Amino acid sequence: MTDETAPTTAAAEPPTPRGEQTRQHILDTAMRLFRERGYAQTTMRAIAKEAGVAVGNAYYYFGSKEHLIQRFYVDSQAEHRAGAAALLARERDFATRLRGVLHAGIDVLTPSHEFAATFFKTAAEPTSPLSPFSAASSEPREAAIALFRDVLEGSTAKVDEELRPELPELLWLAYMGVVLYWVHDRSPGQAKTRQLIDGAVPLIDRAVGLSRLRVLRPITREVLHLIRTIRH
């Protein structure tokens, strides 16, 4: 897997601790400015100035504002995995694992809720490289799908054999649905998103279990066929 956010001039060299520190400082400053002023209104020049580094230095670490967001995605994804690790090591029940991973994802996103509401219009634009479905977002997307593969493979769930290889991506899509709801959630502390997770997990768990029933197999096939057809 290539690290798209690494500066091309130094891609082969491991970052020095000092370099890593500067990179993190620029990223933190950028995210703060995006929150305070809005993504579109914040220039690389302003980020460099606020971070106290030369503009050229900022560009050395991040080729563009988009690279900053992509790094934010990658970091959030790593944090999500770390937040779910203990649960995934301990639990074997599919519904418990799924519920834990969904809550862990929202835990990581929670400090960014205000930012997400304003940033959403940029990420949701169909042609944006910052869309979670874009080619540029493939690294954090694949990592996220792999996390849902762990949810499934480490569980005792019995799943229809045709559904099994597709299920991790479907679970990730469901998670994207939860995030879409969370962005719009104006209940205090986004409590309704938590209720959505708690209510949806038993239904998903039941649907996954039912997929193996012989009488329902034609429906499973039909759903899978539809998903393959409409995949972009």
Chain residues that interact with a second copy, rule: CB under 8 A: 117-118, 120-122, 124-127, 133, 181, 183-187, 192, 195-196, 199-200, 202-203, 206, 219, 222-223, 225-226, 229-230, 232
* End-to-end C-alpha distance for the chain, whole angstroms: 22
**Cβ closest to a second copy, residue 90 vs residue 121:** 121
**Cβ closest to a second copy, residue 45 vs residue 225:** 225
| Cα–Cα distance, 11 to 210 (Å, whole number) | 48
**Cβ closest to a second copy, residue 59 vs residue 120:** 120
Sequential DSSP letters for 24-82: HHHHHHHHHHHHHH-TTT--HHHHHHHHTS-HHHHHHH-SSHHHHHHHHHHHHHHHHHH
Residue 64, token pair as written in the block: 């563009």
Closest distance between a second copy and the C-beta of residue 229, in Å? Answer: 5
Closest distance between a second copy and the C-beta of residue 83, in Å? Answer: 23
**Cβ closest to a second copy, residue 18 vs residue 232:** 232
Measured in residues, the chain has a length of: 232
Closest distance between a second copy and the C-beta of residue 98, in Å? Answer: 15
Closest distance between a second copy and the C-beta of residue 43, in Å? Answer: 18
Q: CA nearest 151: which of 215, 71, 96?
A: 96
Q: Provide the greatest CA pair distance for the chain.
A: 66
